[in-house]
Amino acid sequence: MNIVMAVAECVPFVKTGGLADVAGALPKALARLGHNVTVILPKYSLIPDELQQQFTKQDEVKFEFKGKQASAGIFAYESEGVGYLLLENDEYFAREGIYGQPDDAERFAFLNRGVLAVLHSLPLPADIVHVHDWHTAMIPFLLQEDQQYAGLNEGLQTVLTIHNLQFQGNFPPETFTAIYGMDSQYLNDDAVLWHGNLSMLKTGIQYADKVTAVSPTYRDEILTDQYGEGLQQVLRARQDDLLGIVNGLDTDAYDPAADPAIEQTYDASSVSAGKAANKQALQRRFGLPEQPDTPLIVMVSRLSGQKGIDVLEDTLPELVEKEDLQVIILGTGEERYERFLRGLAADHPDKVYAYIGFDEALAHLLYAGADIFLMPSHFEPCGLSQLISMRYGTVPVANKTGGLQDTVTEYDEGMQTGNGFLSDFSRGRTFSGTLKRCLSFYKQPEDWRMIQLNGMRGNYSWPRSAEQYAKLYERIKQTEE
C-alpha cells in the first residue's frame, strides 16, 4: 500500500515532542511490513546542517496561495526504506522555532497546500494520506471541498491521528477565507468553524475517513466532557470511526544494550551492574552523594500543568525532607514550575538537582541510571517516557490516565506481575501514597528485580502498533471498494 504522511515535525530532522518520535518511527515500521511510505514535512532552517547536506533538490511545485502564485522547493531524503520530501520556503520555515509564531495559521496552511501540490504534481502514488494533529488536519477538508483536487480525491482515503486534543489550531474565522482562499459558505459548524472560530483540528475530525487517538484509553477519554477539550460533541458524532492505537517505541533509538549516550550498556541479564554504573555517573555529574543504595528518582518532562508538576509541588517537599532518596528532574516549561524546582534543589542540594533545559543525551543517562521514573500527569494521550523507562529497567510511578493506564500495570507481589505503580486521582489514590508504596518495594530486592524485569521484557516496539495501522488502512480501502 502507498502511504503518504504529512507532519509538522519528525525525527531525525526536528523535534519538540512525541509527535516527532511517532512520525519518525511509524513510517519505518510500516516500511518493514512492506508498505511504500513517504513523509512530507517542512524544510526548517533548524534542521542540522549535516542532515541538510544529504538532501537532494528534486523539484519545485507552484500553487496558488492567498490569491497569488507561491512555490516550494522539494528536497528528497531516504532512510531505512522511507522516503522523505521536505518543502522549502524560507518565508515560512526559516524560523528560530517550529511553533508559537504569530503567523502559524498561515505557515501551516502553506504546508497543507504544499502537500496537496506535491500529490497533484509529482508521480507520487498514494492510497492513504495520514495527517497528524492540527497542523495538517485541513488536508482531508481540502481534498473533499476544493474542486481543484477533485481528480486527486478519487480513490484517496485519509486518516487523522490526534496526538494531543488540547492543541486544536483555533483562529479567528476571517483567517479561513484569508489564507485558504475559499468561499465563506464553509464558515459554519458543519464545515470549518467551531464556537465561532476556525478550528483546524475539529475540521479534520469531521472530514477524515478515520480518526485515531494514540492510545485506547485516551480514545475513550476524549469522548467525555472531562477530557474532550470542547470537542467531545464532534468526536461522539464520529466515535464509530474513532480508534485508539497505542504508540510504540523506537527500540533502536532506546536500547540500553547499545546506547552510546549512557555510561555502561546492559541488558536484562546485567541490569543491576549496568544501572549501578549509570547511577554513579549521574551522582558524580550533579554532585550528589555516591550512595548506591539510595533510590534515585527522575523525571524528564515538559514542565506544565498537564504533566502534573503541581502534584510534585504537593508531594516532593515532604518526601525529600523525610525519606532517604535523591531526585533529578530534567525539563523546561512554565516559569512557576521552574521556580519551584530550583527552590527545592537550593533547599536540598545533597538530594535534589533541577536541570532546567533539555539535553537528549542526558535524558538517556537518566533513564539508565534511575531507579524510579515519575509521571504524575493529569492526562496523557500516550506517553513515551514510561515505555522508555521500563525498557531501561527503571520503574514508573504514574497516574492512571490515557496511555499510562494502557501500558503501566500495578505490581502484584503475590503473582509477581506488573511493571510499575499507579495512582488514580479520580478515586483518591494519591501520587504521594503510590510513590511511598513504590519506595517500600525498592527495599525488597527480589520484588524490585522482578518489577524491573517485567518492564524490560514488555513488548513496546512499533511493529505491533504499525500492524494495527496497516489493518486500519486496509479496512478503509476495502470499504471504499
Q: Which residues are annotated as a binding site for ADP-alpha-D-glucose?
A: 15
Q: Quick count: other Cβ atoms within 10 Å of Cβ 465?
A: 22
Q: Quick count: other Cβ atoms within 10 Å of Cβ 79?
A: 15
HSE-CB for 17 with a 13 A CA cutoff: 20
Query: Are 243 and 130 in contact, with CB atoms under 8 Å apart?
Result: no
Closest listed residue to residue 381, CA positions, set 168, 205, 221: 221
Q: How far apart are CA 137 and CA 139, in angstroms?
A: 5
| Annotated binding-site ranges | 15
Q: How far apart are CA 208 and CA 365, in angstroms?
A: 40
Q: How far apart are CA 110 and CA 304, in angstroms?
A: 30
How many residues are listed for the chain in this entry?
481
Query: Are 65 and 91 in contact, with CB atoms under 8 Å apart?
Result: no
E strands present in 45-89:
56-65, 68-79, 82-88
- 352 has which bridge partners? 327
- 273 has which bridge partners? none
Q: How far apart are CA 300 and CA 314, in angstroms?
A: 18
Across the beta sheet with 372-375, the strand order is 352-356, 326-331, 296-300, 372-375, 395-399, 421-423
Q: How far apart are CA 379 and CA 227, in angstroms?
A: 8
End-to-end CA separation in angstroms for the chain: 14
User: DSSP secondary-structure letter at 394?
Assistant: P
Q: How far apart are CA 71 and CA 63, in angstroms?
A: 6
Q: How far apart are CA 143 and CA 220, in angstroms?
A: 28
